[in-house]
Chains A and B, each alone.
Chain A
């Protein structure tokens, strides 16, 4: 299995607080992605990275920011969490034209 670790695995927080999710890989893959999974929507891309400090927006990027200061780490930040951001968040990695490999997901609940 691809070495991808997401932390935390579960988090409950309050509306208006900042939240940071971490994705750590040991595969030295160039591409990293953040998705959210919601019933009826499948996986939707939030942000992705194609190298250190190289990131771009996905289809549902509003309210989220990312950073990648090292190849192995990709952080997703909710600046001021809202209830609509309650979801399961997945990190994925890939290399060139290979399929994505996913982390185990983070269940985030915003009350």
Chain B
């Protein structure tokens, strides 16, 4: 069974600094997708970045980038030049295609609460 582990329940970072959130997962699949979602106090779930497992190049979206280590099953999120608006809960998620049912299975980590300090 797939699992997603976020080992840092809470983190803080000074404004304008860089922070890295950790995520590890366990799977025997070769093809899958990984995502980071952000949940600010408004409760919305916002997609931050996605990574396809077959791509070696790490995904980047503006100040957000990932370090995808497929062999180590690690998918960390780096936030550069942290801003107060980055304060949120961050969830790592794993997705794969279930061939027997034709559906897609998503597994979420328990989240890391990030606070950006002024």
Contact = CB atoms under 8 A, between A and B. Distances in A.
B35 interface: yes
A31 B104 contact: yes
B110 A42 contact: yes
Nearest to A95: B104
A56 interface: yes
Interface of A is mostly: strand
Contacts of A56: 101, 103
A94 interface: yes
Given A33-B106, A50-B103, A90-B45, A42 B50 contact: no
Interface string B23-58: 000000000010101000001110100100000000
B111 A99 contact: no
Contacts, number: 46
**Among B37, B106, B109, residue most surrounded by chain A Cβ atoms (within 10 Å):** B106
Interface residues of A, number: 23
B43 A104 contact: yes
A8 B104 CA distance: 27
Contacts of A105: 43-45
B106 A100 contact: yes
Contacts of A104: 43-44
Contacts of B108: 42-44
Nearest to B31: A97
**Among A50, A88, A99, A100, residue most surrounded by chain B Cβ atoms (within 10 Å):** A99
Which 9 A-B residue pairs are closest in the complex by CB-CB distance? A102-B45, A42-B110, A43-B108, A42-B108, A50-B103, A105-B43, A99-B47, A99-B35, A42-B111
Interface of B: 33, 35, 37, 43-45, 47, 50, 91, 93, 95, 97, 101-104, 106, 108-111
